[in-house]
Structure 1
Amino acid sequence: MIVRPPRDADDEQIYEIARLAFGGPREPRPASLWSKQKGWHGLVAELDGRLVGVLKVREYAQFFGGAAVPMGGLASVAVAPAGRGRGVATALIDAVLPEMRDRGQAISALYPSVPALYRGRGWEQTGNYERVTLRPELFAMLPKPTERVVMRHATEADTAAIHECYLRFARTVDGTLDRSTAAFEPERMLELDIVEVATAEDGTVLGYLTGERPEGDTLVVHDLVADDRETALGLFANLGRWTGILTEVSLRINDPAWWQLLMTLPVVHDVRNHGWMLRVVDLPAAVGARGWPNAACLAPTSVDIEVVDEHAPWHAGRHRLTVDGGRVSCEPGGDGTVRLRARALGPWFAGSADTAMLRRGGLLDGDAAAARLLDQLTGAPRLPRMADSF
């Protein structure tokens, strides 16, 4: 088996392997060909002179603790029917891990179709990507803002301000992407059916709503982002005005503030979740890139850990996590008081699991008192969210 970077001439074979795995039209759109896309790197596997496997890594950055951590978004992992059962997928993943590390992608996230495959290589369930389906009448019944929120359709001149509005929100929700890398094309947002901005008197964008109106009786909302309660209520009122025109709104749950604190939900409602997994690719680099707001409240201290990770040997072994002056560092050494397996690193780093959960899951052992510092650093357990799928 040969594992190598893709070439432009591989486009058709790559598309066919992905089509057989995930579905899609027989004839590709030009924009769907790998050679036409930006902000990614990848690998292909050859057997007997023909491609049998593909893997793409999108160049992202993911917020944790208010800082954007370079992240490789593993996607489009597919194996041709003739290559299945021959270790193609694991060979591709094993080859891309050091490549992500060399590119500075300290963590990696993915939406798993085969969780066991990725767990075997160190990824673990970490966060949610959720949608809720509600009737538009529900939004009409919410409290109205004290003053009418002025909304208008966005133009190309608004794209930078919309992105800044998004960033103000995204920095506060662990797991969200910063949407600033080459993998994103902000101007394409304007191709959506609905791109509405809520503005202050001086024109400042305080919130925005994006979505699509497909055939049928559903409105599909992608982003509902607001700086404050009044703006969020104004955006909800906008959704309520679809009452009588359609029967349901599919709303992506991106902001826990409006989802948990503003929405009035019926006793029974449908939420669909596509959970995502996370892996720490390079622990010292990930610790250095992450924000650690809780560290400012901690006295100088440290905890010694031992990482068991056969697929990322560059960070396997003993490390000392040190908190000093509100900063957190990870240096080689220590006595390995707390032992973490590779699958424990993602949930710990993201704060989705505390050390008691990781211990019960068989992913952590060692001194329980020392491990509590790991929980204090992340504030675990808490739910990371992603507002983008890939």
Structure 2
Amino acid sequence: MTPKFEYSQVVKEDIQQLGNILEQCFLMSPGESEIFFNRIGLENFRVIRAGEQVAGGLATIPMAQWWGGERVPMAGIAAVGIGPEHRGSGAALVMMQHAVKELYAKGVPISTLYPATQRLYRKAGYEQGGISSTWEVPTQSILVKEQPLPVIAVRADHEIFYELYQQHARLNNGFLDRHQGIWQGIFKPHEKEAIYTYLIGRAEQPQGYIIFSQHQDQDGSFIRVRDWAVLTTAAAQSFWSFLGLHRSQIKNVRWKGSATESLTLLLPEQTAKQKATSYWMLRVVDVVKALEKRGYPLGIQAELHLEIQDDLLAENNGRFILSVANGRGEVTSGGKGEMKLDIRGLAPLYTGLFTPQQLQLAGQLDATETARFAATQIFAGASPWMADFF
């Protein structure tokens, strides 16, 4: 490590300097960083110092992520900012390397982030792990008339939304077990903004929900779905029927979905389009814990012999055997090393973003045909995506 940098927790004297850096990096209004500190918790922020100066900082948000129907503890990295006078000095990479080592020491299996630049995070062992897509559909084209369930306006009671979200999240690879700060962001309106909260289904047995706000831009009026969950076909039909009823005043509906959005199957025509897509990145921090804590397809019994290289965390280096049965995995040391990959290549394999064949073509792994076949079975599942940004 470069000796001129020091990585540490935030102390009281750092708050002003770190706040100024983050406000400049993320185009915040003066003082806005305080809201961010309060929402995430100052104890989750770290700084990198160059001598006496705070050169930059980041936040590690304690959460979890759903993989194969199991909740895997995860640290979300957010607010990575370096003061302009310290950029190009290597401070960002040193800070990320220290953060990853700290997460390993705490026993955190995986970490995810949204990159402003992939190159920095790849150097710290992160790779593309999943997708976040924004979709848009004209309300006039929704044309789903049947609404099998009532849609009921309710107050923003976190508890019922949290329970429904968790049921929805368990079924979607990559979904967060959200930090309280992310929930606050969903329910807290911006200035001059109203948020509308509805349950889909009877109040005593809801089958989904929709939380949205209404906006105007150069393309006209639109609904922004801030959060949603549908647990049944009836809920999905009611979701669309309800949104379609806004057609007299609202031109478009925007929502977050996967790259292959199954909700659009209920629409009569291909009028829903992806407006924006971004890839988030994942790092396997602890190979053994990450592989053992995720879920796997039921009915699969297979063995995968891995040989992994991690330039930052020596504990992840070496040969491992992943044995999968009854939806769970067990890792032991040793084996034949039939699939060779570095820690970056393990990320999109772990998430199922790309198949082993695709990863081999991209130079991310080198494996025998037997190992590729086993890995294809083991990591099969729905395409990973995330509704949240942090």
Q: Distance in 2 between matches of 1:186 and 1:265?
A: 36
TM-score by length of 1: 0.90
Structure 2 unaligned regions, length at least 5 = none
Q: List per-residue Cα deviations over 1:247-288 (Å, max 9, x = no partner).
A: 222222259674242134446834211211111111110111
Q: List per-residue Cα deviations over 1:140-170 (Å, max 9, x = no partner).
A: x12413x4x22222225x5322222112221
Q: Distance in 2 between matches of 1:360 and 1:64?
A: 25
Q: Distance in 2 between matches of 1:270 and 1:324?
A: 37
Distance apart, 1:93 and its partner CA = 0.7
Q: Distance in 1 between matches of 2:272 and 2:183?
A: 37
**Which residue of the partner structure matches residue 64 of structure 2?**
61
**Which residue of the partner structure matches residue 289 of structure 2?**
285
Q: List per-residue Cα deviations over 1:105-148 (Å, max 9, x = no partner).
A: 21111111111111122211121111112221122x12413x4x
Distance apart, 1:230 and its partner CA = 1.7
Q: List per-residue Cα deviations over 1:16-43 (Å, max 9, x = no partner).
A: 21122221112326422x2563396232
Q: Cα 1:334–1:266, aligned 2, differ >3 Å: closer, same or farther?
A: closer
Which of 48, 51, 54 is residue 51 of structure 1 equivalent to? Answer: 54
- What amino acid is aligned across from residue 354 of structure 1 in structure 2? T
Query: Is the aligned partner of 1:90 residue 2:89?
Result: no
Tell me, yes or no, if the aligned pair for 1:39 and 1:184 is still in contact at 8 Å: no
- What amino acid is aligned across from residue 98 of structure 1 in structure 2? K
Q: Distance in 2 between matches of 1:86 and 1:257?
A: 42
Q: Distance in 1 between matches of 2:20 and 2:284?
A: 31
Tell me, yes or no, if the aligned pair for 1:302 and 1:320 is still in contact at 8 Å: yes
Q: Root-mean-square deviation (CA), in Å?
A: 2.4
**Which residue of the partner structure matches residue 124 of structure 1?**
127
Q: Cα 1:366–1:240, aligned 2, differ >3 Å: closer, same or farther?
A: closer
**Which residue of the partner structure matches residue 171 of structure 1?**
170
Query: Is the aligned partner of 1:113 residue 2:116?
Result: yes
Paired residues in the alignment total 379
Question: Which secondary structure does the structure 2 equivalent of 1:335 belong to?
Answer: coil
Distance apart, 1:193 and its partner CA = 1.1
Q: Distance in 1 between matches of 2:31 and 2:384?
A: 37
- What amino acid is aligned across from residue 42 of structure 1 in structure 2? F
Q: How does 1:219-258 map to 2 (within 5 A)?
A: 219-253=223-257, 258=262
Distance apart, 1:360 and its partner CA = 1.2
Moved more, 202-211 or 55-64: 202-211
**Which residue of the partner structure matches residue 298 of structure 1?**
300
Q: Distance in 2 between matches of 1:68 and 1:205?
A: 23
- What amino acid is aligned across from residue 199 of structure 2 in structure 1? V
Q: Cα 1:309–1:207, aligned 2, differ >3 Å: closer, same or farther?
A: same
Q: Cα 1:190–1:85, aligned 2, differ >3 Å: closer, same or farther?
A: closer
- What amino acid is aligned across from residue 146 of structure 2 in structure 1? K
Q: How does 1:67-216 map to 2 (within 5 A)?
A: 67-139=70-142, 141-145=143-147, 147=148, 149-155=149-155, 158-179=157-178, 181-185=179-183, 189=187, 193-200=195-202, 203-216=204-217
Q: Distance in 1 between matches of 2:235 and 2:38?
A: 41
Q: Distance in 2 between matches of 1:261 and 1:188?
A: 26
Q: List per-residue Cα deviations over 1:176-200 (Å, max 9, x = no partner).
A: 1122x45444696275611111232
Q: Distance in 2 between matches of 1:19 and 1:43?
A: 16
Q: Distance in 1 between matches of 2:289 and 2:360?
A: 25
Q: Cα 1:327–1:198, aligned 2, differ >3 Å: closer, same or farther?
A: closer
Distance apart, 1:73 and its partner CA = 0.8
Indicate the structure with greater strand content. 2
Distance apart, 1:76 and its partner CA = 0.9
Q: Cα 1:264–1:74, aligned 2, differ >3 Å: closer, same or farther?
A: farther
Question: Which secondary structure does the structure 1 equivalent of 2:176 belong to?
Answer: coil
**Which residue of the partner structure matches residue 280 of structure 2?**
276
Tell me, yes or no, if the aligned pair for 1:126 and 1:350 is still in contact at 8 Å: yes
Structure 1 unaligned regions, length at least 5 = none
**Which residue of the partner structure matches residue 384 of structure 2?**
384
Tell me, yes or no, if the aligned pair for 2:111 and 2:285 is still in contact at 8 Å: yes
Q: List per-residue Cα deviations over 1:327-353 (Å, max 9, x = no partner).
A: 311122223222111111110111111
Question: Which secondary structure does the structure 1 equivalent of 2:341 belong to?
Answer: strand
Moved more, 91-100 or 160-169: 160-169
Distance apart, 1:101 and its partner CA = 1.6
- What amino acid is aligned across from residue 153 of structure 2 in structure 1? H
Q: Identical aligned pairs, as a percentage?
A: 24
Distance apart, 1:67 and its partner CA = 0.6
